[in-house]
Structure 1
Amino acid sequence: MNMDLQRFHATFFEESHEGLDAMEAALLAIDAGNRDAELVNSVFRAAHSIKGGAATFGFEGMAGLTHLLETLLDDIRGGRREATRAALDAILGSVDVLRALLAEAEHGRPADAKDVQAVRARLEAVLGTEPGTAAPAADSTAAAAEPEGWRIGFSPAPSMFMSGNDPLRILRELEHLGPLEVAARLDRLPAFAQLDPLEACLAWDLGLTARVPRGAVDEVFAWVEDECELDIQPIAAAAAPDAPAGAPADAPLAPSAGAKVQSISDSAESSVRVSVDKIDALINLVGELVITQAMLKQASSSVDPAVAERLFTGLEQLERNTRDLQEAVIGVRMLPVDAVFRRFPRLVRDLSARLGKQVLLRTVGEGTELDKSLIEKVADPLVHLVRNAIDHGLEDPATRSASGKPETGTITLAASHQGGHIVIEVSDDGRGLNRDRILVKAQERGLAVPENPSDAQVWDLVFQPGFSTNDEVTDLSGRGVGMDVVRRNIQGLGGEVELHSKQGSGTRVVIRLPLTLAILDGMSVTAGGEVLILPLTHVLEALQPGQADIRTVAGSGRVLQVRGEYLPLVSLAEVYGYSDRRDADLLVVVVEGDGQKIALEVDELVGQQQVVVKSIEHNYRRVHGVSGATILGDGRVALIVDVGGLVRAQRLPQAA
């Protein structure tokens, strides 16, 4: 049967990316001193899987490199070679080049031929050296006791074809090890009318007559070990001549069709890969359902409940079901933040070695979940922050030792849920920010600095475009590109960035992001006759102050006294250019953003509701003070207030 293998490319690419990530994580653990044999085996299996898939699909460059890599890994896992620093560097370099070759196969971006050749040369150089250790003596004993061959029961899962695997290719690989006797089992073969060409229905009893180690047989099945039922038994020396091809009664080649086979089938069907586009389409449909539900609720407000009791009961049930459906669908998009965190051990390892610093990376809360769309976009800002922490924050070992610190500096990546947000912190125990130096640099650049600025106002200067305290420009720092980009990217995701530092003790950057960009709980208010949505996670309280609580401060506008604290008072009607209505009693909503509170003057509190977020920037352009829009139950569009943007707008006059 001729099959179009391109249908399986997407699965191969996705699994190869996962395999390379797993290889890198295991190699870094080995580099850190973990000598668990299973780590080396996991790296070998990942490389073997990529080699098998690349060879199947005709990606020769990838297959050739992984074959060379596999040889080195086999020496290490067999105890014939030490996992030296040079070997690990060569293997990690291979991972980088394999990512480039994978991108070439997937997206047509040519990999750098010089890089490919260089990493092959490094692998060959390591392989060309004398092995660091001889094989243990026990290996020779084991070799002497190797069986005459192997009985193999091989039962592919029905879905094996769908992952791009071919059982016949596996049988051909076994033939390379020695003479192979094959007997097909037809007990799972359905009637002709029920045959599905995309399902594997056959199983095999195999007899391999060759003195080969068990590991060589395992390697052949390494790529499909999770998609088949295997039973591998040695053929004793005395029994070898009479070993039949089939399964004798006293030594079955495979277990009977029972629980274990069924469990593999269940495992194969317990998860399914779905493209992000399909999930996005589902979320959009759920969003439309939320809007329709709100429309029905508003339309029914004029109906007498006594007359339409069943209608109102149904609407209440619909509201509960809609919210449950929203949470379930959004949960599908949620991924642990470890998907981002696990790329940093390699970054820290390489950069610390390059700068001659000793760095320990700690991660906390890796299982904290975040929307996949946010995970992909928060990675670059975090890379900036970690690089800054190593380059600017941490001192070299001699300096740390002289100041009474451990020679090894620590960078901590932490994630946690706080209310409706996820909070990601990047902190270090380095030198901290130099307040005086920042002020000098700000004056040299002509930046507006308030009189007697607070620490928060000084740290805020670091986020100005092009700001840098480095006098020397290197490929890592000094170009003034970084922190302003971090803030801009995070704000683009509806988030906020705060910076805290103490000279000599370190720096901490706190990022707050919404859990998802799709749906939020909001407070509906009116201002100038228009409905606006305040994200509920920013709302602290609503109150009706007296005129005696309002003051006017020269150069700062109006402020409101709330329990001894003076907050900037902002009219939402003025901010958005609506007609201001100040004939009614003053009504204020206190909100917090970017670590600062402000009081928002509104006309009326309408209520709380869950709203579907629609991007204005994507469909129109970025609008100051607006983070998005939503459709109300009556079909009108309501703007979602960018609380963080309003807070930052209040800071600018203070810094002028």
Structure 2
Amino acid sequence: MDITDFYDTFFEEAEELLADMERYLLELDVDEPDTEHLNAIFRAAHSIKGGAGTFGFDVLQKTTHLFENLLDHTRKGELKLRRDIVDTFLETKDMLSDQLDAYRNGDEPDQEAFERICKTLQQIALEEIGRDLDGGAAPVPAPEPEPEPATPSEGAGGAGRRIVTLLNVGEKDRQLLVEELGQLGEVVTHGGDEACYEITLASTIDSDDIEAVMCFIVDADQVKIRDAENGQASEVAPAKSEPAAKAAEPAKPVEPARPSAAAKPAGDAKTAKVKAKAKGGGESTSIRVSVDKVDQIINLVGELIITQSMLDQTVSELEGAADSALLNGMSLLQRNARDLQESVMSIRMIPMDFVFSRFPRVVRETAAKLGKEIELTTEGESTELDKSLTERIIDPLTHLVRNSLDHGIEPPEVREAAGKPRTGKLVLSAKHQGGNIIIEVIDDGAGLDRDRLLAKARENGLPVADTMSDDEVWQLIFAPGFSTAKAVTDVSGRGVGMDVVKRNIQGMGGHVQIMSTPGAGTTIRIVLPLTLAILDGMSIKVGNEMFILPLSAVLESLQPAKEDLYAMAGDDVVLKVRDEYLPVVAVHEALDVPNAKTELTETIAVIVQGEGRRYALLVDDLVGQQQVVVKNLETNYRKVPGVSAATILGDGSVALILDITGLHRLSRAKKEDRRPERGWQTLEADTDKVLEI
């Protein structure tokens, strides 16, 4: 068996360990660092080092070896933490991530960067504790893994022999383990059967590093290690143990202290090198599955739902009384198909902590650049969202956070002069609301300045008016090239980004809302569907064509009355709904649908919302609400203006899912092409109001 078969497992577990390492580093109080956090950071580095040595990732092994030694001096109290030292630790973590990515891609890590970080770590050790980390040896490119001194307190037996017992391990895994243990020393004897197989190893490597090798190949409860001289056993125990196991870890005379597997704190299961596998009598509680495989299953379930809808419609159209057994069977199939769909969709749902965990680092570094004091709070980390959306929301959310830090929260002295605490507060929250997830970026800064935004908009040539509502004024910050920054900085000020943020969020089927109070702060709310694979929609009919409107965009529907319709200069029409004048979008005109109703009072107006504005869509009929399986139209055909996606109905026909804002833009563009004059038009209505549209 090729050891590269286990690369993916190592890479994924190492990524988890590095993420935990960063989280613990960011939570460290430099004045009174938490001992458990220091131990967890140390164990993460130690685990990665053991795996890197096993797979021959020499640069990664050497870097983590030096980092581990420096961390050991830190947790023993020999190295006093400062902010700049924690910054170096974070830089080292970034370097480890880069090295891991290089090995994952089959490349060699950057040797210059490797030597630089090793030199930095050595320099800290020389200046702070008076000695280097590696016996005075300077780092060299592509170093060979060094054998580590024995640990008497762990019963390692010096350069003596250890007996490794494998329980219920198949032949191929046994053979691979014998080969890999041969890289750590001399395999003196080995033999036995699948139930119990013993390997006698002569090595100076301590038990922890042997454990690290074994647990990338077999489960923790399948391995036992004991010293051949005194018979002392060292069993590879699960990461979670009884609270009593949180004993103080013994210091080692040469190498950093290595906690035995049985002594790992219960609260640090994620940072331990051996994942918790004790539940259910040693059975694993999770499996790693490729996202492509999950997507394939979701697509197949979607096809199953479509087929079930077709059968259901066929049965409903049968003449006469259908067979009761057939009806019962169809009802059961529908229920089971829906349950299967929900279960499969839940596989792709991951907690928002996947997104939020990145921002303590972003806030820390951005606040330092801006000279501000910021306290970050996250809420709703366990709220789940589709994996594809969590990956796509990271960049827009990062820009919004940096924007709040730069433009929203004031410098400490300004806050103090305004009677506020010097430390600004930034909150990231997530919660479910119906079929959507609400993500909010909340700051207690200065808030948005309405007059300044309007002045800047006029300066940029944007069509604005003093009568605009606050919501419309706040939306100006999303205009391309719009910025109120007085100077360009490393963080913002170039007028790029916010328009991309809005466009990306709309591309995910969501929208952005802004609430702001001068002097009190700003809340930016992102509303997203929980998944892009399934959509709650309203079926509408225009002519002989069926379309789907996202149900989240539909506010109400009504029959327009003649007295509520106002013709504008040109072809524009507005509909008065409770003292609000809404632009009318005739779907049949925008999409060139034949045989549709053209008399406005005979149509149905569906009031919808998109990009913070409301529109009245004119359709022929409302068919009903239904869940539909979303098919990407751009991938399967091409991009169609006014259309976001497509679905297959129960009769096998294709229905287009309408894009509200795109439909309005398409309608405007078609009308503009027919007008001799362009620009803003006005109308003096019976209420003596001047409407700007």
3-state SS of 1:129 partner: helix
Q: Deviations over 1:417-442 (max 9, x none)?
A: 11111111112111222222222222
- Matched residues in 2 for 1:556 and 1:266: separation? 73
1:587 aligns with 2:608: no
- Matched residues in 2 for 1:160 and 1:22: separation? 35
Over the matched positions of the two proteins, sequence identity in percent amounts to 47
The equivalences for 1:124-523 within 5 A come to 124-131=122-129, 155=166, 158=169, 166=177, 169=180, 186=192, 189=194, 202=197, 217-218=207-208, 220-221=210-211, 227-229=219-221, 263=278, 266-304=281-319, 306-523=321-538
- Matched residues in 2 for 1:66 and 1:496: separation? 44
Q: How far apart are residue 82 of structure 1 and its match?
A: 2.7
Contact 1:155 1:229 in 2 (8 A): no
Q: How far apart are residue 222 of structure 1 and its match?
A: 5.2
- Matched residues in 2 for 1:59 and 1:599: separation? 62
- Matched residues in 2 for 1:525 and 1:544: separation? 14
Contact 1:409 1:429 in 2 (8 A): yes
Q: Deviations over 1:324-356 (max 9, x none)?
A: 111111100000011010010011111111221
Change (3 A) 1:147 1:288: closer
Q: How far apart are residue 305 of structure 1 and its match?
A: 5.8
Change (3 A) 1:6 1:323: same
3-state SS of 1:81 partner: coil
After superposing the two structures, state which structure 1 stretch, 384-393 or 77-86, moved more. 77-86
- Matched residues in 2 for 1:640 and 1:112: separation? 48
Change (3 A) 1:277 1:485: same
Question: Counterpart amino acid of 1:54?
Answer: A
Contact 2:513 2:524 in 1 (8 A): yes
1:53 aligns with 2:51: yes
Which of 623, 635, 647 in structure 2 is aligned with 1:606?
623
- Matched residues in 2 for 1:163 and 1:587: separation? 72
- Matched residues in 2 for 1:159 and 1:86: separation? 50
Q: Deviations over 1:155-199 (max 9, x none)?
A: 5674998899947756875x79xxx9x99794x625xxxxxxxxx
Q: How far apart are residue 108 of structure 1 and its match?
A: 5.3
Question: Counterpart amino acid of 2:194?
Answer: L
Question: Counterpart amino acid of 1:626?
Answer: V
Q: How far apart are residue 254 of structure 1 and its match?
A: 6.4
3-state SS of 1:484 partner: helix
Question: Counterpart amino acid of 2:78?
Answer: R
Contact 2:30 2:81 in 1 (8 A): no
- Matched residues in 1 for 2:340 and 2:562: separation? 46
Q: Deviations over 1:501-542 (max 9, x none)?
A: 222222211111111111112111101221000122222333
After superposing the two structures, state which structure 1 stretch, 335-344 or 292-301, moved more. 292-301
3-state SS of 2:28 partner: helix
- Matched residues in 2 for 1:630 and 1:372: separation? 21
3-state SS of 2:512 partner: strand
Question: Counterpart amino acid of 2:353?
Answer: D
Q: How far apart are residue 558 of structure 1 and its match?
A: 3.4
Q: How far apart are residue 78 of structure 1 and its match?
A: 3.1
Tell me the residue number matched to 2:250: none
- Matched residues in 2 for 1:618 and 1:592: separation? 26
Structure 1 length as normaliser, TM-score?
0.83
Tell me the residue number matched to 1:628: 645
Change (3 A) 1:224 1:395: farther
Contact 2:168 2:194 in 1 (8 A): no
Change (3 A) 1:254 1:435: closer
- Matched residues in 1 for 2:522 and 2:355: separation? 21
Instruction: Give the unaligned 5+ runs of structure 1.
Output: 134-143, 191-200, 236-242
Q: How far apart are residue 24 of structure 1 and its match?
A: 0.2
Change (3 A) 1:332 1:32: farther
Tell me the residue number matched to 1:140: none
Moved over 6 A (4+): 147-153, 159-165, 182-185, 204-208, 230-235, 252-256, 647-656
Change (3 A) 1:73 1:254: closer
Instruction: Give the unaligned 5+ runs of structure 2.
Output: 132-150, 242-275, 669-678, 681-690
Contact 1:559 1:567 in 2 (8 A): yes
Tell me the residue number matched to 2:636: 619
Tell me the residue number matched to 1:96: 94
Which of 540, 545, 550 in structure 1 is aligned with 2:565?
550
Q: How far apart are residue 57 of structure 1 and its match?
A: 2.3
Contact 1:155 1:228 in 2 (8 A): no
